[in-house]
């Protein structure tokens, strides 16, 4: 999406972002080969997005350009503590139709060629029921070929008709997930979980064997085949903007796990990258910023 970040003097600074896109960019910066699946318009903003993604090393062959369409848009406001609030304009975003009208078959089939498929609850919130069913079938087929599915239950109430819909979609996707990476505040808001242990228990009952529960500045809790871990976050003195804290954590964690690291070391890498991100404004640290090195 087009991202407009409001500065302290009320100006809006334009960039690009979105939860799964943020993770894709940081995964590429961590040295992973990444393809992004989406749809954009044929407008100048979409062309600029594609050039930026490609420049970051994110593959764009699975991004369709839809004539006459536009990308989504969101604004980000931060309070004095750096905590962010999002406001979305994406009811007609091209990405909503990435799998509709039969155009998604090739993209869905391509998922099985990847080691890992990453998606979020926001990814699912913009799809219609038929597109979700197609995606679920493709994920099941990909897993049968050895692909691992990673899911972040990023819950944004504005994206759903009501919480019951979001809970139903979460219940449908979790049996297809290998690694779940939720944030505790989202799970509390949607399911009423009292703590990370409750989140882990509820999610593993649906099938995932690895669950990483993020808790902002608090420690993350992990249940993985290697055991249980609690890993403290890296302290940040001046929090500027918490946008993409979880997205960047996910990227570094997954990059380390794919490289063979244990969950504890992967979480330490996740915390370290998130600490850099929240000390800067916006979701993605500019590539020319020394903090962009990972």
Beta strands 210-213 and 220-224 are antiparallel
Residue 53 included in any domain: no
pTM here is 0.93
Which letter does DSSP use for residue 239 in this model? -
At 25, which CATH number?
3.40.1190.20
Q: Does residue 83 form part of some domain? A: no
Residues 6+ apart with CB under 8 A from 277: 243, 244, 245, 248, 283, 285
178, 247, 262, 289: which one is catalytic? 247
Q: Is 247 a catalytic residue?
A: yes
| Number of separate domains in the chain | 1
Full domain range(s) for residue 223: 19-38+61-68+95-292
Tens of pLDDT along 92-113? Answer: 899 999 998 778 999 999 999 9
Local confidence band at 10 (pLDDT 50, 70, 90 cut-offs):
confident
Residue 80 lies in a domain: no
Whether the predicted pLDDT of 118 surpasses 90: yes
In a domain, 275, yes or no: yes
What local confidence, expressed as pLDDT, does residue 202 receive?
A: 98
Answer yes or no: is 232 within a domain.
yes
Tell me phi and psi for residue 62, to 5 degrees: -100, 15
Looking at residues 244-273, what average pLDDT do you find?
Answer: 97
Q: What is the mean pLDDT of the chain?
A: 93
Q: Is residue 111 part of a domain?
A: yes
Residue 5 lies in a domain: no
Q: Is the pLDDT of residue 143 over 80?
A: yes
- Determine, yes or no, domain membership for 217: yes
Residue 82: pLDDT band by 50, 70, 90 thresholds? low
């Amino acid at each position: 999406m087009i991202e407009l970040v409001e500065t302290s003097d009320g100006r809006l600074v334009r960039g690009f972002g979105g939860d799964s896109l943020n993770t894709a960019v940081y995964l590429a910066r961590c040295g992973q080969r990444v393809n992004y699946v989406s749809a954009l318009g044929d407008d100048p903003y979409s062309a600029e997005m594609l050039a930026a993604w490609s420049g970051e090393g994110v593959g764009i062959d699975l991004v369709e350009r839809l004539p006459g369409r536009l990308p989504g848009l969101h604004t980000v406001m931060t309070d004095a503590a750096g905590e962010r609030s999002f406001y979305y304009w994406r009811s007609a975003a091209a990405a909503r139709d990435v799998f509709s009208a039969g155009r998604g078959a090739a993209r869905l089939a391509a998922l099985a060629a990847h080691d890992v498929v990453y998606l979020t609850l926001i990814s699912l919130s913009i799809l219609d029921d038929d597109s979700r069913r197609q995606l679920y079938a493709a994920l099941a087929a990909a897993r049968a070929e050895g692909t691992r599915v990673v899911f972040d239950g990023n819950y944004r109430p504005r994206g759903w008709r009501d919480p019951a819909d979001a809970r139903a979609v979460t219940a449908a996707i979790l049996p297809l997930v290998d690694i779940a990476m939720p944030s505790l505040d989202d799970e509390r808001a949607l399911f009423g979980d009292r703590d990370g242990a409750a989140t882990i228990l509820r999610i593993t009952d649906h099938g995932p064997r690895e669950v990483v529960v993020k808790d902002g500045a608090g420690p993350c809790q992990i249940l993985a085949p290697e055991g249980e871990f609690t890993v403290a976050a890296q302290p940040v003195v001046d929090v500027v903007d918490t946008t993409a804290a979880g997205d960047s954590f996910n990227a570094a964690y997954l990059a380390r796990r794919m490289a063979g690291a244990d969950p504890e070391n992967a979480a330490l890498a996740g915390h370290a990258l998130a600490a850099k991100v929240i000390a800067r404004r916006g979701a993605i640290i500019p590539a020319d910023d020394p903090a962009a090195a990972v």
